[in-house]
Amino acid sequence: MQKVELLSPAGNYECMVAAVQAGCNAVYLSGKAFGARSFAGNFDNEELLKAVNYCHLHQVKVYVTVNTIVLESEFKELNNYLKLLSDINVDAVIVQDLGVLRFIKKNYSTLEVHASTQMNVFNKNGALILKQLGVSRVVLARETDIETVKEISNTGIEIEIFIHGALCFSSSGNCLMSSVIGRRSGNRGKCAQPCRKLYSIYEDDYLIEENKSILSTKDLMTLDHLNVILESEVRSLKIEGRMKSPEYVYTVTKAYRDAIDEYYKHHKYVISNKTNDNILVTFNRSFTKGYLLGDDNFNIVNKEYVNHRGIVIGKVINARNDFIEIKLRNDISLHDGLRVLSNEEYGVYLTNILVNNNSVKKATKNQVIKLFIKNNSKIGDLVVKTSSSNLTSEIKEILKKENVKFKINLDVSIFCGKKLSIRVFIDNYSFIVYGDYLEYGEQVLSIDRIKEQLSKLSSTVYEVDKINIKTDNISFVKVSELNELRRSFVNVLNEYLLSKKDKVNPKYLLNNNLKEFIKKPLKIECVTSTNNQKEVCEKFNIEAVFALNREYGGRINSNNLIFTHNIGNITDKSIISPYFNIVNKEALNTLIDLGIKDCYLSPEIDFNTINDLDLNNLNINVGMIVYGRIDLMVSKHCVIGNIKGAKNKNCNACKKHSYKIKDDYGNNYPLLLEKENDCTMRILDNHKLNLINYLDKLKELGINKFLLVFTDENELEVMDILETFINGKKINGKLYTGFINEKIM
């Protein structure tokens, strides 16, 4: 069994050091551009080089995220950035954009490419297509279950999965909610996390759930199930957390490192209470096994809260306006962070702890502490610890030292009239460093003293395992010379570790194989959500009407052309949907290489970017959504099933009622619940896009397909909209036009 890679997050340099010292095999991080976590600290160009050298010296790989969609106007900047990454010898780049993938494989063939989870790959076909495109590893969608992981692992491409940390509510890469609501695109690294906000649910316009965090997922935690995961032949286990603290990175990485090592050694492992408590206190929103290990619908989302829950340390037993008393069930210390879970939660930083009216530095289980603080607590409120001063101090002390060590052996030769020499062995490699010619001396260093001097490596990544010394016992050796030779062989060892490579970089295997291509005349296509909508569209002789198909689980038209949202569903009959996030020429050329003849651009695109694409000179039919509600989120979790008490799918609530959610600004977002599509839930935009007044301009730019998306429209509304667009009647008044007139952030 090949040993699995443990991959840790590094939002800044301190977190990277924490990950390495905790025992990760690789880190993933971002520069200051093109990364999906632009609000993390991230690394400037100098820090990137420093990080790569530090990691490579510790035999840890560095994967750099280039996992945003990239506009045509940004490719010059992208090229400069990729050149830097290639020059400093990063081990791989993680990409979302098909265009970025193609650009790298055509221009930086030595750069290894990993497909980001933002590509939303969840099946074997998706992995095989990406393999053809030159991808060496696929980060699977978080919705992928363990049995499918096993199946995909047999495709000959490396598979990486998330094992711990935050989960997106929406399928990754298919979330436009932050973009549409706040003009901060998750596909551009600017996600404002609207999934962590409060929403109310309405059933047929009646309120049934008020101000709950219905879209806020629990954190993934698989530590108790590593045995199942390790048997799946997956290549890399990924910890989420580039926005988290060094304490979180160290604690979680160390927990999984120890468990993995113990399992490989004994085929079992034990998680201590201390380890569990440390994980809880560094960060958790409560835990789920996730879709990976088949957790039920109830246990994916936590409706009650969105913030860090820490670990329960006690309960309020007395409450006044200016103080509370807490009966402890766990120990606390000065400078810990607490949160009281009252109706209006509040945090406390412990600068003073009173036990029996005496100030103490720590208090233990079963003691009663008094905290003087203005509050609104009541008796019975739980109290949680959200940060541990002891754990923070412990980790800071650990990180002051070098904890990663590579064993070396030394053969030392000390003979009068010959040069002092030390042969150094590491792995299957050896080399010799030489000192000066040795002379006779009346006083010679003892064997123990020589070993002591050569073993002073505490500030390095090396540790002497064995030293063999051959000596005539008459040669004079200076301590300073031993120190100099030690520094010399450390430098050579560093060069050796920094030069080690084991890359296998697959090539881009596809080329445009279209023998001839004829652009189609302008046409209107429709996506429908009900049979009535479909029938109206067919009466208007719309050639392509994409309707839900129970057998396929997606949308197909009468010619069996498939409206494809995902690379894993591509066939020779695919029409690429707007949710493929196509915004540049390289991405369009990738589709052409795949034999695709028809596609739609991203709804996040604007006129200037469309103009940059030069569509009239590309051999592909390109369309735009010109009417309808955009999908803001697509999720495997059904909030209606959750509140209706359905642990699993097929509760049928969606067949009896209509539903919407409302945010705290009063915006209503309809829910489209597709029982035929594996109970997929789509959250729709509260506005209906309407580009009727821009059709002529879109035609000039090379758009030859207009897409009308019908979701909650009745038959008369569908008829009216079709007549308007078929006749091209412009509309006076204000229309919602999405991003067409503004560049995406």
Write down the pLDDT at residue 674.
Answer: 78
Q: What is the pLDDT of residue 493?
A: 95
Q: Give a yes or no: residue 225 inside a domain.
A: yes
Average model confidence (pLDDT) across the chain = 92
C-alpha distances out from residue 323 to 339, 369, 382, 402, 436, Å: 14, 10, 15, 45, 74
- CA–CA separation, 539 and 525 (whole Å): 13
Per-residue confidence (pLDDT) for residue 555, from 0 to 100? 72
Q: Which of 246, 205, 184 is nearest to 24 (CA)?
A: 246
**Mean pLDDT computed over 281-294:** 95
Nearest to 625 by CA among 608, 604, 598: 604
Confidence of residue 173 (pLDDT cuts 50, 70, 90): confident
> What's residue 511's pLDDT?
74
CB 741 within 8 A of CB 606: yes
What is the C-alpha separation between 335 and 353, in angstroms, rounded?
Answer: 10
Domain of 356, CATH number, reads 2.40.30.10
pLDDT range class, residue 557, cuts 50, 70, 90: confident
| Element containing residue 299 per DSSP (H, E) | none
Average pLDDT, stretch 534-554? 78
pLDDT at residue 624, rounded to an integer:
97
Give the per-residue pLDDT at 652.
74
Say whether both 438 and 388 belong to one domain: no
Residues 116 and 239 in one domain: yes
**C-alpha to C-alpha distance for 194 and 216, rounded to whole angstroms:** 9
Out of 399, 418, 446, a domain closes at: 399
* The two three-digit tokens of residue 620, written as one number: 């592909």
Please indicate, yes or no, whether residues 393 and 426 belong to a single structural domain of this protein.
Answer: no
- Specify whether 364 is located in the same domain as 478: no
C-alpha–C-alpha distance, residues 382 and 388, integer Å? 17
Mind listing the pLDDT tens digit for each residue in 576-625?
999 999 999 999 999 999 999 999 999 999 999 999 999 999 999 999 99
Q: What is the pLDDT of residues 6-17, one digit of tens each?
A: 999 999 999 999
53 and 32 in a single domain? The answer is yes
For residue 303, is it within any domain?
A: no
CA distance 493 to 685: 58
Give 321's pLDDT tier (boundaries 50, 70, 90): confident
Q: Does pLDDT of 57 surpass 70?
A: yes
Alpha helices in 455-522 (DSSP H): 479-499
pTM of the predicted model as reported, rounded to 2 decimal places: 0.94
Question: And the tokens for 22?
Answer: 């905790």
Residues 432, 571, single domain; the answer is no
Which pLDDT band, with edges at 50, 70 and 90, does 673 fall under? confident
Angle, nearest 10°, between helix axes 13-22 and 246-266?
A: 20
- The CA distance from 420 to 14, in Å, is 40
Closest CA to 631 of 160, 4, 175: 175
Q: Does residue 607 lie within any of the structural domains?
A: yes
Burial of 664 (0-12, 13-18, 19+ CB in 10 A): exposed
Q: Measured between alpha carbons, how far is 41 from 21 in angstroms, rounded to an integer?
A: 20
Residue 37 falls inside a structural domain: yes
* Residue after which a domain boundary falls, among 383, 399, 415: 399
HEC string of 407-449 equals EEEEEEEECCCCEEEEEEEECCEEEEEEEEECEECCCCCCHHH
Report yes or no: 82 and 110 within 8 Å, Cβ to Cβ: no
Beta strands in 550-667, from DSSP E residues, in sequence order: 554-556, 562-564, 574-576, 598-600, 621-628, 631-635, 659-662
Q: Are 694 and 703 in contact (CB under 8 A)?
A: no
Q: Give the mean model confidence (pLDDT) for residues 48-63.
A: 96
Residues 44 and 153 in one domain: yes
| Tens digits of residue pLDDT in 213-256 | 999 999 999 999 999 999 998 999 999 999 999 999 999 999 99
Tokens of 397: 């002390």
Least Cα distance to 89 among 51, 58, 32 occurs for: 51
The DSSP code for 217 is: B
- Token pair 């600290």 is at which residue? 41
State whether residue 477 is helix, strand or coil. Answer: coil
For residue 215, is it within any domain? no
Across the strands, what pairs with 555? 548, 563
Which residue in 385, 380, 457, 471 sits closest to 421, CA to CA? Answer: 471
Cα–Cα dist 86/113, whole Å: 12
pLDDT value, residue 504: 66
Q: Give the Å distances, CA to CA, from 344 to 195, 238, 351, 375.
A: 21, 35, 22, 9
Residues 6 or more apart in contact with residue 541 via CB below 8 angstroms: none
The whole-angstrom separation of Cα 269 and Cα 463 is 27
Structural domain boundaries enclosing 451: 406-499
Is 514 contained in some domain?
no
Q: Can you tell me the distance from the alpha carbon of 610 to that of 628, in angstroms, rounded to the nearest whole number?
A: 20
699 and 522 in contact (C-beta within 8 Å)? yes
Q: Are residues 429 and 534 in the same domain?
A: no
Reduce the DSSP state of residue 105 to 3 states and report it.
helix
The pLDDT value given to residue 514: 59
CB of 241 closer than 8 Å to CB of 11: yes
Q: Nearest 10 degrees: CA dihedral of 637, 642, 648, 654?
A: -80
DSSP 3-state assignment of 698?
helix
How would residue 699 be classed by pLDDT, with cut points 50, 70 and 90?
very high
Assess whether pLDDT exceeds 60 at residue 552.
no
Q: Quick check: is 340 in a domain? A: yes
Residue 449 pLDDT greater than 60, yes or no: yes
449 HSE (CA, 13 A, CB side): 10
Number of domains the chain contains: 4
Query: 250: how many CB neighbours lie within 10 A of its CB?
Result: 29
Same structural domain, 386 and 416: no
Indicate if 567 and 589 belong to the same structural domain.
yes
Q: Which pLDDT value is given to residue 261?
A: 97
Same domain, yes or no: 476 and 577: no
In a domain, 416, yes or no: yes
- Phi/psi of residue 80, each to 5°? -60, -40
Measured in whole angstroms, the distance separating CA 297 from the mean position of its chain's CA atoms is 22
Which segment of 96-105, 368-377, 381-390 scores lowest on mean pLDDT? 368-377
* 122 and 93, same domain (yes or no): yes
Q: What is the pLDDT of residues 620-664, one digit of tens each?
A: 999 999 999 999 999 999 898 888 877 667 777 777 889 999 999
